[in-house]
A and B are shown apart, each in its own frame.
Chain A
Amino acid sequence: MWKRMKFYAVSAVIVALATAALYYRFFPQREATIRRVVDAPAILQQVQQLNELVTVKYSIQKVVGLKEEKVPFGSESVLLMVQATVLGGVDLASVGSEDISVSADSHVTIKLPPPKIMHVFINDRDTKVWDREKTWWTPWVGFNPDLEQKARLAALEAVQVAAQEMGILSNAQQNAETAIRGFLSTVGIESVSFESGGTVH
């Protein structure tokens, strides 16, 4: 009886060791082979002139969960609590001399470009990973190091859509008109109207 149990126990250990050896042979830890250079200089990739008039800022908090379905089986999910900032305004770079007209009675009409979302960014200090898990029955599937980044991108898009649904573009338009009107009044131009998308304000 004991001999048989010993035989089973030794066999089980041998099978477990063989399985572990095969697992590490065919699913090596890829992270171990990644070499990162930490002393690379900062590279300036692009310089762009900006003529943006940012007129409104929304701070939005959102909980975003992303579940990634693996191929062929299993899934991994991450839950983020995101704090993001959305800036809206108008791009004055596209305003040309043909967009500004002055009538005989000194009334100024300005054709403004449509308002748009200028920047969306996540405030890292206030953003947290709330939960992260994967299916327990797929132990061979590793954690995806890019999943959190994917969730952040999804959160950025969700925040952007939320800001649009909250009316950031109409706020940006109104504030731009108020700002330009205020600026022109300081140089003595009191009568100003704006044209945008066929409407006059």
Chain B
Amino acid sequence: MKGGFKVLIGGGAAAMVAVCVGLSAWLRVREAAQLTQPNRVQTDGGTNYVVQVLETTIGRTENGYLLLIATRFENPNPYEVLLRRDGFVLLDRNQDSYQPSTTGTQSALIKLPPNGVVENETLNFAVPEGALVGAMELKVGKDRSVLIKDDKPFDRQLNRGEFVSFRRRTW
């Protein structure tokens, strides 16, 4: 009876741990799905395209942070669509805006082939430390934004040259 009770307690504890781990895993998968859901948007001229945020990567530079947002674009139109990279503006909690880099590795135009897909197009932003204290969103089209980061301040200490990538909004 005593041994049976111990087994019961042990089994109950193991089941509790399994449920907690399972729930936590389910929440994380759900968070990832929320971040990566496709967004059908329009250009100012009314052309449709689909943007999907795949992942965000934050890294420390000499004077601030570098935010790399990996995206996937889909063009449902039978013609080529050209999107201005500087139209994808990052907004912080104070509605300060940051333009993506359009020099060096980043071309000024993002070309979407007819009925095609552009996998893993990265939008790069140099942001000051103060921008990471609250929510951040990426403007992906006319009157449409995607929440990139939630309200929780980013308080992880990163060294210069250290990057961390996330597939969720909670950093």
Contacts and interface: CB of A to CB of B under 8 A. Distances in A.
Interface of A: 62-69, 71-73, 86, 116-120, 150-151, 153-154, 156-158, 160-162, 165
A190 B68 CA distance: 46
Interface string B101-127: 101110000000000000000101010
B34 to A, nearest CB: 12
Interface of B: 24-26, 28-29, 32, 57, 59, 61-63, 66, 68, 101, 103-105, 122, 124, 126, 159, 161-168
Contacts of A65: 159, 161-163
A130 to B, nearest CB: 11
Contact of B163 (A67, A73, A120): A67
Given A69-B165, A120-B104, A150-B165, A165 B62 contact: yes
Contact of B24 (A72, A118, A120, A154): A72
Contact of B105 (A156, A162, A165): A156
B165 A73 contact: no
A41 B149 CA distance: 44
B61 A161 contact: yes
B105 A67 contact: no
Nearest to A154: B163
A151 B164 CA distance: 10
Contacts of B103: 116-117, 160
A157 B101 contact: yes
Given A73-B28, A154-B59, A165-B62, A160 B161 contact: no
Contacts of B166: 69
A67 B29 CA distance: 18
Nearest to B21: A73
Contact of B25 (A72, A116, A153): A72
Contact of B104 (A68, A86, A165): A86
Q: Which 7 A-B pairs have the closest CB atoms?
A: A72-B25, A117-B104, A72-B28, A66-B163, A120-B104, A71-B32, A160-B104
Given A154-B59, A161-B62, A162-B61, 20 more contacts: A64-B162, A65-B161, A66-B164, A67-B162, A67-B163, A68-B165, A72-B29, A72-B32, A86-B104, A117-B104, A119-B104, A150-B57, A153-B105, A154-B68, A156-B105, A157-B68, A158-B66, A161-B61, A161-B126, A165-B61
